[in-house]
A and B are shown apart, each in its own frame.
Chain A
């Protein structure tokens, strides 16, 4: 009996710790990614963005997504891959106006994706 209660409490504690960590970690990763996209966005707006800037954001995202795969469904991560590739392709070709639209979508995803997995009424039902 005591052992069963201990196991239950351990499981509850483990889950609670994991929930707090996931919430913090996913939020942090997307905040950093959002900041990077924001900087790229400003550079694209000024038409000063180049191949290296796009490459830097992509490298940053690649390093983050390896770990994010543990916590988020892989399809959601592939949306970011898709829009980032499009934006980078347009930046390489210096088609800044079109790239701005793609980066806007990326910013929106980075801002809203962690929210889709938070403990909120609309997410539960």
Chain B
């Protein structure tokens, strides 16, 4: 029986560690340890229930072990701030006054399209709709929004961390207009952190290591 408790504890710690390493992209509105518990409880309850050769007591002990671990993590969370940061992580400011913080994004295993998706889910459809954007430790997105929303048109992502989206580029630019636009900005494709364009031709453009710029361009077709 003690064996079940020790093995459950090892699996719990391993899963927690892995979830923390995976970053916020893998957590859906839960603290990492809550997510781990959700993963484990279902299996622990199921196995002794379905497999009659395993004593029910094994499942019960494992679930009690999870309860004890949950309480320990919760108490550590309350009493020791550094432990809380290790177990649950810290909020990551991914958008600041300079634009997108690529280091913070990569630290959380996210890319710009993940960020834009999270923003849309939170009700912000353009990158410059917010002063600050952050991923909470539970993976949810919060933002300090601007007083006035810059645009009423949806933005398309043209470049995401140096990777072009050909379909969107062709929708916005004709011929080699896109290359001309980049050379006008003195940027190579791989240097572009993000470039989005909305239906009115408003461009959110950010180069590596620089503050973002809001530019205007002609779009091939409006949407």
Residues of chain A touching chain B, judged by Cβ–Cβ distance below 8 Å, are 4-5, 7-8, 11-12, 14-15, 18-19, 22-23, 69-75, 117-119, 123-124
A71-B75 Cα distance, complex, nearest whole Å: 31
Chain B residues with CB under 8 Å of A19's CB are: 1-2, 5
State the Cβ distance, A56 to closest chain B Cβ, in Å.
Answer: 27
User: With the chains together, A123 CA to B10 CA distance in Å?
Assistant: 13
- Measured between beta carbons, the chain A residues less than 8 angstroms from B68 are 8, 11-12, 15
User: What 1/0 mask marks residues of chain B from 47 to 72 whose CB sits below 8 Å from any chain A CB?
Assistant: 00000111101100100110110011
Kindly report which residue of chain A lies nearest to residue B64, judged by CB atoms: A11
Contact in complex: B57, A73 (CB < 8 Å): no
Minimum CB–CB distance for A78 against chain B, Å: 8
Interface residues, chain B, with chain A CB atoms under 8 Å away:
1-3, 5-7, 10, 52-55, 57-58, 61, 64-65, 67-68, 71-72, 74-75
B3 pairs with A123, CB closer than 8 A: yes
B61 touches A18 (CB 8 A): yes
Inter-chain contact B67/A74, CB cutoff 8 Å: no
- SS of B interface (majority): helix
Q: Answer whether A18 and B1 are a contact pair too, CB < 8 Å, given A71-B57, A73-B53.
A: yes
Question: Which residues of B have CB within 8 Å of A71?
Answer: 1, 55, 57
Closest residue on chain B to residue A69 by CB atoms: B55
Instruction: State the CA gap A52–B64 with chains docked (Å).
Output: 45
- Residue in chain A with minimal CB distance to B65: A15
Task: Considering the complex, give the chain B residue whose CB is closest to the CB of A116.
Answer: B3
* CA distance in complex: A19, B45 (Å): 20
Q: In the complex the two chains form, is B55's CB within 8 Å of A5's CB? A: no
Q: Is the CB of B3 within 8 A of A74?
A: no
Specify which chain A residues have a CB less than 8 angstroms from the CB of B61 in the assembled complex. Answer: 15, 18
Closest to A120 in B: B3
Q: How distant is the Cα of A79 from the Cα of B97 in the complex, in angstroms?
A: 70
Pairwise interchain contact A14-B52, C-beta atoms closer than 8 A: no
Expressed in whole angstroms, the minimum distance between the Cβ of A9 and any Cβ of chain B is 9
Top 5 nearest A-B pairs (CB, nearest first) are A8-B71, A19-B2, A119-B2, A74-B53, A22-B1
Question: Once the chains are docked, how many angstroms separate the CA of A7 from the CA of B70?
Answer: 12
Name A72's closest neighbour in chain B (CB-CB): B55
Contact A73 B71 (CB under 8 A): no
Contact B3 A15, beta carbon cutoff 8 Å: no
Cβ contact of B7, chosen from A12, A74, A124, cutoff 8 A: A124
Q: Provide the bound-state CA to CA distance between A75 and B2, in Å.
A: 20
Q: Which of B3, B67, B72 contacts A119 (CB 8 A)?
A: B3
Q: When the two chains form their complex, are residues B55 and A70 in contact, meaning their CB atoms are under 8 A apart?
A: yes
